[in-house]
Structures are given as structure tokens and as C-alpha cells.
């Protein structure tokens, strides 16, 4: 234990100051007055000086306890404030993260990264020239476009040579406007020609 200053103790005979500054000197020690040579035993139960020192120690302990209590409650209050701030921050971050996830999900659903949107349905392409239909798919971003001649024209009343009979995406003609497909999807354009 370190040095603790106690209140001054005076000699009862001459009134001179007695040097009793350390707690280690309190129990059962002989103290001699440097001015008149009076001898004191500073044990609390058996002398006035010891009782005074014990009283000072109790007073110092009480002050220390109050300070510790004050520090403890200050720390508790700080801890509670931090806990409240942490909860608020966690709630705010949770709301932000939820909002971000919702926006991201909506973006992915709407935009479908890596997917191209078809801007027409298959029925609307029938009867158009296959070169025009091909350029429409190129404008949409598709790269894998193939053609196949259908040798079915006899007179040419119902269709002209080069008119689209059918368009498939990955083998199916059931695509609709607004549907999405990979850029690498196989587009096949079947068009009418006269047999040779």
C-alpha cells in the first residue's frame, strides 16, 4: 500500500507535530515527540493518537469508497449509453442492409445481369424478311444467330422468298416480349424459299 497523508497529530504535552504519515506506522508503534521527548503508543484501542489515526484512516477509506462508487456508476452509465448507441447503430445498419438487399434483388430481377431482354414475341416476326429479323436480334444483343431455308414456296401468294416462317430461341418458338435469355442463346430463323 502506498503512502497516505493523514491529518496532523500534535503532542499532548508540548503541542509539537508528530510525524505519522504512513499507514504502516499505525499499528503498535512507539512514536517519540521530537520536541519534548514524550512517548506515545499509537494503537487505536489504547491511545488518543491511535484513535485519531484510525479515525483518519476510516475517513480516507470512506472518501475512497465514495470515489470508487462514483466511478463505478459513471462507468455503468457510460456502458449503458454505449449499449444504447450500439443498439441504435445495429438497428440502423440492419435497416440499411435490408434496404440494400431489397434494391439489389429488384435490380437483379429487373435487369437480370448477363441476360438480354427480347423486345417482341415470335408471332410478330412471322412474315418479315429474315434479314430484318436478324438485325432486330443483333440490336437486342444476341450473337449466335443462324438461318435455315424452308423449301416450301410454290406460287408465292401467301409468302415471299426470304419471309420468316418461324424463329426459335434455344429450340423453342414460345418466347414472349419481355422474356430474358442469355446472350449466347441460339437464335434460329427459318425462312421461306422456292425449291431448287
The pLDDT value recorded for residue 50 is: 63
Question: What is the residue-level pLDDT of the chain in tens, covering all 196 positions?
Answer: 344 444 567 788 888 877 665 444 445 566 778 888 877 665 545 556 666 667 777 778 888 888 888 888 887 888 787 777 788 888 888 888 888 888 877 666 565 667 888 999 999 999 999 999 999 999 999 999 999 999 888 876 778 889 999 999 999 999 999 888 988 899 999 999 988 7
The pLDDT value recorded for residue 37 is: 82
Residues in the chain: 196
> Beta strands 9-10 and 17-18: pairing type?
antiparallel
Angle at the Cα of 71 (from 68 to 74), degrees rounded to 5?
Answer: 150
Distance CA 41, CA 25 (A): 10
The pLDDT value recorded for residue 21 is: 53
The pLDDT value recorded for residue 2 is: 42
Distance CA 193, CA 149 (A): 6
Distance CA 96, CA 111 (A): 22
The pLDDT value recorded for residue 17 is: 79
The pLDDT value recorded for residue 22 is: 44
Amino acid at each position: 500500500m502506498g503512502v497516505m497523508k493523514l491529518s496532523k497529530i500534535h503532542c499532548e504535552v508540548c503541542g509539537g507535530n508528530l510525524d505519522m504519515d504512513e499507514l504502516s506506522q499505525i499499528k503498535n508503534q512507539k512514536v517519540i515527540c521530537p520536541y519534548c521527548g514524550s512517548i506515545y503508543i499509537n494503537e487505536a484501542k489504547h491511545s488518543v493518537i491511535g484513535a485519531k489515526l484510525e479515525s483518519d484512516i476510516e475517513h480516507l477509506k470512506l472518501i475512497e469508497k465514495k470515489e470508487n462508487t462514483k466511478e463505478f456508476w459513471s462507468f455503468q452509465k457510460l456502458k449503458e449509453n454505449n449499449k444504447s448507441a450500439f443498439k441504435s447503430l445495429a438497428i440502423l445498419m440492419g435497416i440499411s442492409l435490408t434496404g440494400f438487399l431489397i434494391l439489389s434483388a429488384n435490380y437483379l430481377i429487373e435487369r437480370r445481369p448477363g441476360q438480354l431482354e427480347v423486345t417482341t414475341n415470335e408471332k410478330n416476326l412471322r412474315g418479315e424478311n429474315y434479314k430484318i429479323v436478324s438485325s432486330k436480334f443483333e440490336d437486342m444483343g444476341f450473337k449466335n444467330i443462324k438461318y435455315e431455308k424452308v423449301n416450301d414456296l410454290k406460287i408465292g401468294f401467301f409468302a415471299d422468298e426470304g419471309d420468316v416462317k418461324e424463329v426459335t430461341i434455344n429450340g423453342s418458338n414460345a418466347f414472349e416480349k419481355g422474356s430474358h435469355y442469355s446472350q449466347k442463346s441460339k437464335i434460329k430463323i427459318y425462312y421461306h424459299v422456292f425449291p431448287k
